[in-house]
Amino acid sequence: MAERLVNPAAGSKARSRKGGAAVPLDETDRRLLNLLQGSFPLDPRPYARLAKEAAISEQEALARTRRLVRDRIIRQITPIYDTRALGYTSLLVAAKVDPDHPWRAAKVINEHPGVSHNYQRNHEFNLWFTIAVPPDSKLGVDRTLEILKERSGATSMRKLPTLRMFKIRMDLEMEGGTEELARPQVIEEYGEPGPVPYDEADVAVIKATQGYMEVSEEPFAPAARKLGIDQRKLLDHLAAMQERGLLRRVAAILFHRRAGYSANGMGVWKVPKERIAEVGPVMASFRGISHCYERPTYPDWPYPLFTMCHGRSVEECERVLAEIAERTGVHERAVLYSSTEFKKVRLLYFTEEYANWERTWGGV
């Protein structure tokens, strides 16, 4: 039986989002957005390659992409590095904070540089965030969470680390409709990422390339100049990092609501332990699911499988989750929809911000 834990239009007060409404897009915009999210090439002139696939000119691809950035449909185009492969400890945290003033707690939590996502969800645990700490952290994740709990006034913080990963790929389907989102694709085996050896050259490349990447004919050129190498050498290095698992891909990250995806549902499933390995990959195969993990259960939290579903409406998310239930035979689930997005950023690695935060609040 499915349990709806939230009506996103009721209950909590959502912070106003300036310019948060969906923006009209034509077919070429949608095609280009799909390519920017999933097929951004490691090439000296990537927009020329993308333009060919979209059947437009390079200049039109650049002009459209700049407009999509200006209109706040694209947050940024950036390399996406693998947090765990870099040795960072990361996990999902569910917190109980003052339901009348959740922003006060969220503001404190958001100050930590390793917090990349923070959402209010209508549940007893009403604040859900992801956090990462670097391999050289003096506090570690447990002490960091103790400090955040005390400073934020949270009455409880529950750690929900990833026990097994079945999927992590956040790209919104911009061309297909509900049928595409609710259809399983090829079931792939996703290897659990772990620390990967890297050296100072890798760190230098990460520092030079992470964050916003300009929209230009040669967007990798500024990083290459910063490193004092030619573009081809940089691109070869990035390709090698991708092969080793340090770099997942280069991609456009979208503003979900502006792109038309107004619903963000965390579907959690009560699955017998002996079936998790069987049904996890099936759930992950659905186009409407961006993340699929096994996480710990508790006496009052019997849901080991988490699936993040993104839809253009609550009804669309419910359709995807219903199709998953039909395909897997797992019908006991709950769905937590986000009512407020307090933070969503790409992590920046190997910065001084982590050590500064630990000195300020941990005294180390």
Looking at the annotation, which residues are catalytic? 117
User: Quick one: CA torsion of 81, 93, 296, 275, rounded to 10 degrees?
Assistant: -60
Tokens of 155: 């009455």
Backbone angles phi, psi at 174, to 5 degrees: -100, -15
List, in sequence order, the alpha helices (H) in the chain.
27-38, 46-54, 58-70, 102-110, 140-152, 178-181, 200-209, 221-227, 231-244, 276-284, 314-328, 353-362
Number of Cβ within a 10 Å radius of residue 224: 21
Strand-pair partners of 25: none
Q: If 0-12 CB within 10 Å is exposed, 13-18 middle and 19+ buried, where does residue 234 land? A: buried
List, in sequence order, the alpha helices (H) in 71-174.
102-110, 140-152
Element counts in the chain: helices (H) and strands (E): 12, 12
Please tell me the total number of residues recorded for the chain in this structure: 364
Strand-pair partners of 127: 95, 120
Torsion sign across C-alpha atoms 157, 81, 321, 173: positive
Q: Are 175 and 287 in contact (CB under 8 A)?
A: no
First-residue to last-residue Cα distance in the chain:
49
Tokens of 91: 């996990």
What amino acid occupies position 234? L
Q: Are 134 and 143 in contact (CB under 8 A)?
A: no
Q: Are 93 and 133 in contact (CB under 8 A)?
A: no
Tokens of 306: 């988490």
